[in-house]
Structure 1
Amino acid sequence: MGSAHTARRHRRPPSRVGQRRPSTPPPPVTRSRYKRQQLMRRVALVWCLLLLAVLGLSVRLGYLQLAQGAILSEMAHTQQARRLNLNETRRPIVDTQGTPLAVDRVVYTLYGHPALFRQPIGVVAQTLAPVLDLPAAALVDELKSQQTGVRLIDDLSEDTARRIQQLRLDGLELIPVQQRFYPQQDLFSQVVGFINVEGEAQTGLEAEYRDRIKLPEPKLPSVIGPALPVSNLPTESAPQQMRLTLDSRLQRVAQEGLRKTLRQFAAKRGTVMVMDVHTGALRALAVEPTFDPNRYFDADLAWLKNWAITDLYEPGSTFKPINIAIALEAGAIAPDDTVYDEGQIQIGEWTIQNSDYEASGRSGTLSITEVLKYSSNLGMVHIMEQMPAADFYRWLEKLELDQPTGIGLSAENAGPLKDRDQFVNSYVDAATAAFGQGIVITPIKLLQLQAALANGGYLVTPTVVEGMTDDQGNLTWQPTPKTPKPVFSSETTDAVLKMMEAVVADGTGKPAQIPGYRIAGKTGTAQKVNEFGGYGSGRVTSFVSLLPVEQPRFVVLAVIDEPAGDDAYGSTVAAPLVKTVMESLVVLEGVPPSAPQALNGVLSPD
């Protein structure tokens, strides 16, 4: 037993020489540590992706800026300006004093987007109402009609648009629109014309000089905000404008006087024109009825045309001075000749008589001056009998009755002459033409013919355009009128002018007298042709004046269509209107009195 015990006690463990001791085992991985590791891996991945994205964007940005910069810039300009309706930009039109008659301006349309409001609709409406001068309740109803794109109001001024911006209301949008604006409203509407909502020129100078007024197409601004100021719109470096020969001051006198006359006599329409007899420059061209070109869509279609240059009428007795000049120039009569006025004659089936025949009967022997002074139809028939009808017809052709004046306004018309064989072979046609019936012209044509009696016998071209001016007022372009055409000698026109002076001094033109001024004139009361081809009860009254007689400068013509009443004649309707215009004309143009000692009709002592 002892041996066994000894052996167990001295047993040694196996040798470990050359063997590694086992390391301490790693601690177990906890849940929080695992999450931390995953988060760090994700952050690293995100950073890598961001770096790659930045690198890619940098490469793309460089490509877009360097390779496609010009193309994209042009596209951006177009897209950013898509809501600015520039239409066709035009130069201003001004009168001879520089008063603006037509200008381009920017107005705004206000849209509401209720879905974007941060305040209740009622609060927005209450805030907007005073600025728009609209009832808040009406705005509420509009804004509740839909969630976005509610068109609230058009044609807002820049000042109003700025006030709306200052309210700082979310959900409101101001869209700028370029618009043609006419500050004088209805004063020059038939002359200047108008631009429609599509930006297209329709009538008047706007249409006739479309290419001259049009500005080069502008380069659009790169950024357009919701309320682009007018000053940010593209403009010429050296702005130009079209300057007219018309004077707003005289035009207003003519327009208001014409309107008053039409009301007084319940007339259909009328025109008053003032022209420089030497240059053809019109100082006034008033037409009634007229319209506001800013609201042309509210006007009757008949009002849109300038009937003084488009419509034909029989001038009646205002044509008699022209015929006397023809007869004098042709040598058919002399200034001191006489004719016999029997008051009424019969030509075939036609009866020709003086307007006062029923009351006065025959007038007897009349001088040529008295024929004009008393407006004798029979006297004119016998004057024109002194020359062959064929010669009379050639003179009407020489005076270009069948040709437009070339005034430079769109749609000017010209009256056709009757067939030559008919005129020559029909005695009644030459007889009625002698006192201004049976021939048709426009009022502007009569104005041109009458000017020839005042300027020594030349047909001048009427014009309303002086030219284009730079920002210093210097003319850079002028229309080129036709060379004045000589038709009468100065001896003939001097003789006729003195006869016409007698009409105002002691004849039918007395209502046009202005104390201190020598004025020549002629009344006219012509029957109108009815729908059946005969003469009805309608009439056209007119009066033409030339002043001052000693050194003529201006011709003034008034034509009133269909005045009502038994006392509606050229002397009662048109002559007083012309006097009103002349009284302002001599002041505005500085026309000195012919006889200073007779001012106000009172002779002053020597």
Structure 2
Amino acid sequence: MTPHSFPRDLATINLFKRRTVLIWLVFALATLSLIVRLVYLQVMTAPDLLEKARRQQMFTLRPFIPRRTITDRKGVVLALDRPVYTLFAHPHLYKQKPEEIAAKLAPILKRPADKLTEVLNRDTTSTQVEYWLSEENADRIYNLRIDGLDLVQQRHRLYPQQDLAAEILGYVNVDHRGQAGLELSQEKLLERIDQTPSVTQDGSGKLIPTRIPAGMIQSDRTSLQLTIDSRIQRTARQSLKQQMVKYGAKRGAVVVMDVRDGGLLTLVTEPTYDPNRYYEADVKLFKNWAVSDLYEPGSTFKPINVAIAIEAGAIEADTVFNDEGALTIGGWPVANFDYEQVGAVGPLSISQILERSSNVGMVHIVQRMKPSVYYGWLERIGMGDISGIDLPSETPSTVKPQEQFLEYVIEPATASFGQGFSLTPVQLVQMQGILASGGKLLTPHVIKGLINEEGEEYYQPKLPTPRQVISAATAQRVVDMMSNVVEKGTGKPAKIPGYRLGGKTGTAQKASETGGGYANKKITSFVGIFPAKEPRYVVLAVIDEPVGDDAFGSTVAAPIVKTVIEDIIVTEGIPPSHPEEVTSKIPILTAPQPTPTPATNSPTP
């Protein structure tokens, strides 16, 4: 080592030492920074980071959750949800020519390729190509693997029976919200309770099987079952249509109620619509007029008035009245429908008054009661109230204010033969159900309840307890009188060999739309109670504004009720109460109907 090399070596060593210290200093600072950062992440921001991690790892599934299926009482599907798809095109993402894409889509969509090309060539970022695609066609399009096409899943409500029960079911709009019928009134009951489950996914986005919630496999598979019978509903609609065409009627309704519990087997109105294509229908058809429109029931209300008079103690079942054929009440003329042909009739029993549908006889019956007593009974059976049916937009029945009813003697008189007050067809069925059920006021309804996949009852709506309004003995006496109406009176067209049923015709003048009296139009009806002994069904047919001199309740409405009851007999397998009539060769003749000349406030039968 030379004397000059030593200072250079010392300088090198010092430089090395300084660099080492600097490196350790940097390392120490970095370590300290990491420790500070770690403490910050693990302590200071831990809750926020944990929540962020959960959001990244958890994925919310949005499965297809259908609206509840609706079935009739025997399981026939009336409404169900199905997944459908809307096809969108995004031109900026095409990797093929629009013409080539259109050629591949045409066979699936069953549309001309040139028309599809026009749609695919639109100058827009996104365009709708087709909607309501089935799963099968959506899968075929997906398997084409065409860039620029997008399939969006939606729910679609399908009504397999078309217009069979449109007035009951209603429909849902494009937002899948109920707009009429049960789809509207039972919105909460029809929406399923399935929850959108959250599952865990790994870093690559794959679901972690062990982290899938156990409840995700289970889901609500209940359906809404109705009391409606599709077969009887179809029979009623076909018969109603035939009579409406035959008599050029404006509209009609048929209602069938089981008097054991108030369940409706049939509720038909015409004209109607197909809920699958509700957007093509007249909006007036969305209203179920059997529930929402009032009319004067006419002579079909007479049996109820007879029951009221018997129950009030005003008459006995064997009381006899003199029928003068016509009379004047408070300055107003009241006459029987056949007064100009028959004139004064003479003595009539209560049963004969119903058989002949005598207006004068009914006035005498009601006059035996104080107007206040009669009015109280009308209120007791539900006049001025609603029936409580589980369908939307029910209108309460109407009766004149009590002061007017008590002051003017014409009011009880006209009410005696079913005019001067108004109700809906469903409300009349409810009131006739008082007679058929042994005196109980039932709540008409169409919902039976929710059932599971095994057909077991899962939920049943709670109905008001039936209220006894008249005695069972009085109810049966009146039904027996109504049986004579069918056997010997104006209800003969409803007679069924081998069976006994009670019935009552009605042909009421329609109130003028401008007010102040009655128009020259009429509304015909017939109500049947079947069987006459131990009744189970009330069947009502109402035909609005039939045309023709022979258009009466007996000719227009009674044949509909007869057809419906015959179908009930077959459907339920009800044996005849008089089997000897079924095998008899003697034809059953129907008495011809007279041509009426009604006076003011004098409806025909």
Asked if TM exceeds 0.5, the reply is yes
Q: Which amino acid aligns with 2:487?
A: A
Task: Return closer, same or farther for 1:264/1:169 CA change in 2, 3 Å cut-off.
Answer: farther
User: Is residue 69 of structure 1 aligned with residue 53 of structure 2?
Assistant: yes
Q: Deviations over 1:283-302 (max 9, x none)?
A: 11111222222222222121
- Alignment match, 1:16: none
- Alignment match, 1:440: 422
User: Is residue 209 of structure 1 aligned with residue 191 of structure 2?
Assistant: no
Task: Return closer, same or farther for 1:327/1:597 CA change in 2, 3 Å cut-off.
Answer: same
Deviation at 1:310, TM superposition (A): 1.1
Match of 1:376 among 358, 374, 379: 358
| Identity %, equivalent residues | 46
Between 1:108-117 and 1:425-434, the stretch displaced more is 108-117
User: Does the residue aligned with 1:335 lie in a helix, a strand or coil?
Assistant: coil
Partners of 1:302 and 1:459 in 2: CA distance: 31
User: Is residue 350 of structure 1 aligned with residue 327 of structure 2?
Assistant: no
Q: Which amino acid aligns with 2:561?
A: V
Match of 2:533 among 550, 563, 568: 550
- Alignment match, 1:497: 479
Partners of 1:589 and 1:110 in 2: CA distance: 48
Match of 1:197 among 141, 162, 174: 174
User: Does the residue aligned with 2:163 lie in a helix, a strand or coil?
Assistant: helix
User: Does the residue aligned with 2:129 lie in a helix, a strand or coil?
Assistant: strand
Partners of 2:448 and 2:256 in 1: CA distance: 15
Partners of 2:49 and 2:154 in 1: CA distance: 32
User: Is residue 574 of structure 1 aligned with residue 557 of structure 2?
Assistant: yes
RMSD: 2.6
User: Is residue 478 of structure 1 aligned with residue 455 of structure 2?
Assistant: no
Q: Which amino acid aligns with 2:461?
A: P
User: Is residue 165 of structure 1 aligned with residue 142 of structure 2?
Assistant: yes
Deviation at 1:73, TM superposition (A): 4.5
Partners of 1:133 and 1:374 in 2: CA distance: 64
Q: Which amino acid aligns with 2:450?
A: M
- Alignment match, 2:154: 177
Count of aligned pairs: 528
Deviation at 1:432, TM superposition (A): 0.3
Q: Is the 8 A contact 1:109 1:176 kept in 2?
A: yes
- Alignment match, 2:221: 239
Task: Structure 1 unaligned segments of length 5 or more: list them.
Answer: 1-58, 225-233
User: Does the residue aligned with 2:563 lie in a helix, a strand or coil?
Assistant: helix
Deviation at 1:206, TM superposition (A): 2.3
Q: Deviations over 1:380-416 (max 9, x none)?
A: 1111111111111111011111111112222222123
- Alignment match, 1:561: 544
Deviation at 1:586, TM superposition (A): 1.0
User: Is residue 587 of structure 1 aligned with residue 564 of structure 2?
Assistant: no
- Alignment match, 1:32: none
Task: Return closer, same or farther for 1:109/1:220 CA change in 2, 3 Å cut-off.
Answer: farther
- Alignment match, 2:71: 94
- Alignment match, 2:164: 187
- Alignment match, 2:320: 338
Partners of 1:239 and 1:463 in 2: CA distance: 23
- Alignment match, 2:522: 539
Deviation at 1:148, TM superposition (A): 4.2
- Alignment match, 2:259: 277
Q: Which amino acid aligns with 1:586?
A: I
Deviation at 1:131, TM superposition (A): 1.6
Q: Is the 8 A contact 2:399 2:420 kept in 1?
A: no
Between 1:562-571 and 1:137-146, the stretch displaced more is 137-146
Q: Which amino acid aligns with 1:507?
A: G
Q: Is the 8 A contact 2:102 2:117 kept in 1?
A: yes
Deviation at 1:235, TM superposition (A): 8.1
Deviation at 1:150, TM superposition (A): 2.2
Q: Which amino acid aligns with 1:559?
A: V
Partners of 2:224 and 2:217 in 1: CA distance: 16
Partners of 1:160 and 1:344 in 2: CA distance: 73
Q: Is the 8 A contact 2:66 2:82 kept in 1?
A: no
User: Is residue 312 of structure 1 aligned with residue 289 of structure 2?
Assistant: no
Task: Return closer, same or farther for 1:495/1:119 CA change in 2, 3 Å cut-off.
Answer: same
User: Does the residue aligned with 2:379 lie in a helix, a strand or coil?
Assistant: helix
User: Is residue 292 of structure 1 aligned with residue 290 of structure 2?
Assistant: no
Q: Is the 8 A contact 2:330 2:408 kept in 1?
A: no
Q: Which amino acid aligns with 1:71?
A: R
Q: Which amino acid aligns with 1:271?
A: A
- Alignment match, 2:489: 507
Deviation at 1:144, TM superposition (A): 2.3
Quick check: which has more Rg, 1 or 2? 1
Partners of 1:112 and 1:501 in 2: CA distance: 69
Q: Which amino acid aligns with 1:450?
A: Q
- Alignment match, 2:597: none
User: What TM-score do you get using the length of structure 2 for normalisation?
Assistant: 0.82
Task: Structure 2 unaligned segments of length 5 or more: list them.
Answer: 1-40, 42-46, 206-215, 588-605
Q: Is the 8 A contact 1:251 1:284 kept in 2?
A: yes
Match of 2:435 among 426, 440, 453: 453
Partners of 1:67 and 1:210 in 2: CA distance: 36
User: What TM-score do you get using the length of structure 1 for normalisation?
Assistant: 0.82
Q: Which amino acid aligns with 1:295?
A: R
Q: Is the 8 A contact 1:354 1:377 kept in 2?
A: yes
Q: Is the 8 A contact 1:131 1:160 kept in 2?
A: yes
Deviation at 1:275, TM superposition (A): 0.9
Partners of 1:163 and 1:283 in 2: CA distance: 43
- Alignment match, 1:218: 195
Deviation at 1:77, TM superposition (A): 4.3
Q: Deviations over 1:274-322 (max 9, x none)?
A: 1111211111111122222222222212111111111111000000000
Between 1:491-500 and 1:340-349, the stretch displaced more is 340-349
Partners of 1:269 and 1:90 in 2: CA distance: 32
Partners of 2:584 and 2:271 in 1: CA distance: 36
